[in-house]
Chain A
């Protein structure tokens, strides 16, 4: 029964979250770029245009994978969200290892993006796909260390326990740098700004360069849904998830997710993207050791004062 309610809430969360993400993603960059009053109708109009555009077939594409890539990406976003609790005991897929489920969604996202770039059988999408694998792999390693740091105080890998363990103090206080590293993962997993190595302007759209019409729309929908999911996971792991006074837990989670989402969209437009080799060395030699240190710090803190 609780699962059924949670599943309905999941649908509600997804639709509200997606609509919000589409609006924020459509309007915030336009506003930052100097338009005083960007139109809220624009994302819908864009979607209508893409739906009426022909779907192009390139020469000898891998048609099956091409079709499956956005589907897989979207599915991973939804599965990742399904292990997030909307209230005490209110979770669609109750799992004692929620972090592991989410971690596998992260890892498989690399596969989905690679499939998408591979299938067009063209050089620019393929370069985007290769590059993304190179950057996303260490980025996701990083996120797992950060998440383990969040799981240590709860002594559990389940998201419900992680939230309950934050009743005294939110994880963002315990490891603020962890939140920042996890936001970087959020940018990488939803292909944004400084971590968008798959679909950037310097590759004329990268994995989407040879995709048109409804396929572009499907890819955009999957990306935005993943943005919602990763924001919800961040809010759950660091901002206390559904915890909060007065309002129902579901609403609190939605509000916190919205906050993270705006931060992610903003950050995606604020920071420059390094060439991939430079980014790789930053991740492997600076950020990964940093995440080890933070894990160590949380462990020592719990040993001494836990």
Chain B
């Protein structure tokens, strides 16, 4: 009785969806969440439905499987135009046209509604217990063997060093910024972190929350974002979310769709002004030659949203790359910088650097604390969970004990 009352209430809750966004689907998905019946979960831990939308790369499949297993029960997966083979087992499938340019706008709207209805139906079935929760796809075991020497996995000096379960122990090292030496921590972040551009997988070394080094492992998946007003509004919304202004972000997303509920743009830009959003971005942050800094890029987005034409940037210098822009920044500054570029610029900045192939095979020793990887490039995918323990995407919790419902 009590349980069924609980289930009835739970069925009324907004549907918590974690999304993995594939090629060309980002803007469309962001508009999908303009509906109060749905919330976009920040982490798979907070979601009940795993929505995989759009084409994925072959190497992303393993991450998708891992993300699936990170979700708590009850859970269900919906594939929306996703080509992932058998990677997700027998997940629910929704098909419809992916490419907005190919079809009438109204048809895209109809198909979005159909996806929403499907998501809601899935949640109703899940909440009422009609549909059983999906089992794990991966085995609950460590991704690497135990490699430590001491009882706590240490393999180096004293209590430190070593790579228990293939993950490096954090070790102190010099700091880039203020000389306060903390433990270096190397992990992979991406490819489906909600505040990252979809598909971007970075291997970063952190000290506290300061980024020491960055290597692009996988570039972002291409998106169809242009430089028109709706696209600018969606970019603006992403920055507002990172700035801690989800309410204004939501308003920008509503304005991107237009329609009765959207607010006039002047009101939105006034609210952004009074929120101190521009002042919150440090001057000179993420400056790229010929491309301004994050603050000017943000101001430019606000003015585009207000109907001004976008500034013309002279183009990137060849040397500009994420691996040189991000080091030295704090985590939240780096998130602002990552979200301030348009898709085209970002894919140039996040290109895989020639000569880095060696690194991808796991033979990189520049930091001295890298994981040990005994396999070739294919083996590597299986290993990539190490270090990325909380990265919501490439990370494994194979060591967990299953938890309890």
Contact = CB atoms under 8 A, between A and B. Distances in A.
Contacts of B127: 49, 52
A45 B390 contact: no
Contact of A58 (B74, B185, B331, B389): B389
A36 B263 CA distance: 12
Given A271-B276, A276-B332, A45 B262 contact: no
Given A124-B392, A209-B390, A30 B397 contact: no
A54 B48 CA distance: 10
A48 B9 contact: yes
B243 A272 contact: yes
Given A30-B36, A34-B262, A49 B331 contact: no
B72 A274 contact: no
B92 to A, nearest CB: 19
Contacts of B42: 201, 204-205, 209
Interface string B255-299: 000000111000000010011110110100100000000000000
A258 interface: no
B247 interface: yes
B390 A125 contact: yes
Interface stretch (A15-23, A86-94, A211-219): A211-219
Contacts of A54: 72-74, 403-405
Contacts of A212: 45-46, 72
B279 to A, nearest CB: 8
B62 to A, nearest CB: 18
Given A122-B390, A200-B244, A211-B45, A52 B74 contact: yes
A67 interface: no
B194 A204 contact: yes
Contacts of A36: 261
Nearest to B250: A33
Contacts of B242: 201-202
A270 B246 CA distance: 10
Contacts of A210: 43, 45, 390
Contact of A56 (B16, B72, B263): B72
A270 B275 contact: yes
Contacts, number: 202
Interface in A240-283: 269-278
Nearest to A51: B6
Interface string B228-252: 0000000000000111111100110
Contacts of B83: none
A145 B261 CA distance: 45
A42 interface: yes
B46 A205 contact: yes
A63 B4 CA distance: 30
A29 interface: yes
A288 B280 CA distance: 19
A60 interface: yes
B46 A216 contact: yes
B330 A275 contact: yes
Interface string B371-402: 00000000000000000111110011111111
Contact of B12 (A45, A58, A127): A45
A53 B47 CA distance: 9
A58 B245 CA distance: 30
Interface string B205-229: 0101100000000000000000000
Contact of B48 (A47, A49, A58, A204): A49
B272 to A, nearest CB: 8
A45 B193 contact: no
Contact of B244 (A205, A208, A273): A273
Given A52-B10, A272-B245, A277-B330, A59 B400 contact: yes
Contacts of A270: 271, 274-275
B13 interface: yes
Contacts of A203: 195, 331-332
Contacts of B144: none
B72 A201 contact: no
A301 interface: no
11 contacts: A33-B250, A41-B12, A45-B14, A46-B13, A55-B404, A123-B185, A203-B195, A213-B72, A216-B46, A269-B245, A272-B276
State the 6 A-B residue pairs at the shortest beta-carbon distance, nearest first: A122-B390, A273-B244, A48-B9, A59-B399, A45-B13, A33-B250
Given A58-B397, A123-B185, A123-B388, 15 more contacts: A34-B251, A34-B262, A36-B261, A51-B10, A57-B401, A124-B390, A130-B209, A196-B244, A202-B195, A202-B331, A203-B332, A204-B194, A208-B45, A273-B332, A278-B282
